[in-house]
Amino acid sequence: MIYLIPTPIGNLEDMTLRGIRLLKEVDLILAEDTRTSQKLLNHYEIKTSMQSFHMHNEHKKVAQVIQEVLRGKTIALISDAGTPGISDPGYLLVHEALKQGVKVECLPGPTALIPALVQSGLPIDRFVFEGFLPPKKGRQGRLKQMAEESRTTVFYESPHKIIKTLGQMLPYFGPQRKLAVVRELSKKFESNFRGSLEEAVHFFEEHPPKGEFVIVVEGTKNK
């Protein structure tokens, strides 16, 4: 059995009771960054062995992990924050495990996109999640495609790119497109900007961005 266990995105109190119990019961924990995850394990007095499993080694380790499970071990996969596989390692392991007949279970739990979407004030009955935008190649094409989407769109952005990204959105989305920019979800300095794209550009030019961002954009009304 492989468990995918979501971990807090900022507030350690968001860890579920079931997640804590399983992390104590499994034979091995695979972590995106063992140094980051050790803080969580220490907080909840979890003594389970831990190994690294990240984007730079997952292709090499997938077969080994699946063999361990087939021999009878139970393994938990966690990321630094949020749900494994959502803009984090996890997909490849799940895909290969299911091909090999290994049972996989994902617990419900923290992820940044849903709270950001729900508190955005924009329509949430239908939405699209884009993860992180391509860093260079295909970026403009993706923005153009997103601007033509009629559903609410959610994506992640880093602090050093947020102003550039908002500026790149202007010619495709238009200055009056409504959006919400959520910073540092569940953390001490969480903040929410709600307004037009043009207003967002001015706001973040005047208030240097820090922390991790989720951007929620209104769908086009031209369809």
Q: Where are the domains of the chain?
A: 2-106, 113-217
- Strands 75-78 and 50-52 turn out to be unpaired
For 126-137, the pLDDT digits (tens) are: 999 999 999 888
Per-residue model confidence (pLDDT) at position 57: 84
Class of domain 2-106: alpha beta
What is the spatial distance between Cα 205 and Cα 203, in angstroms, rounded to a whole number? 5
How far, rounded to the nearest angstrom, does the alpha carbon of residue 170 sit from its chain's CA centroid? 25
Asked whether 80 and 33 are in contact (CB, 8 A), the reply is yes
| Distance in angstroms (rounded) separating the CA atoms of residues 57 and 209 | 31
Which of the 8 DSSP states describes residue 13? G
Q: How far is CA 212 from CA 41, 79, 159, 202, 209, in A?
A: 23, 15, 6, 19, 9
What's the pLDDT tens digit per position in 79-91? Answer: 999 999 998 889 9
* 139 SS3 class: helix
Enter the CATH code of domain 113-217: 3.30.950.10
pLDDT of residue 223: 64
Helix axes 91-99, 58-70, angle to 10 degrees: 40
Buried b (16+ CB within 10 A) or exposed e, 46-66: beeebeebbeeebeebbeebb
Residue written as tokens 């971990």?
Answer: 7
Q: Which residues touch 35 (CB under 8 Å, ≥6 apart)? A: none
Extract the residue ranges of the chain whose pLDDT is less than 70: 223
Backbone conformation region of residue 82, classed left if phi is above 0, alpha if psi is from -120 to 50, else beta:
left
Residue-wise pLDDT tens digits, 1-35: 999 999 999 999 999 999 999 999 999 999 999 99
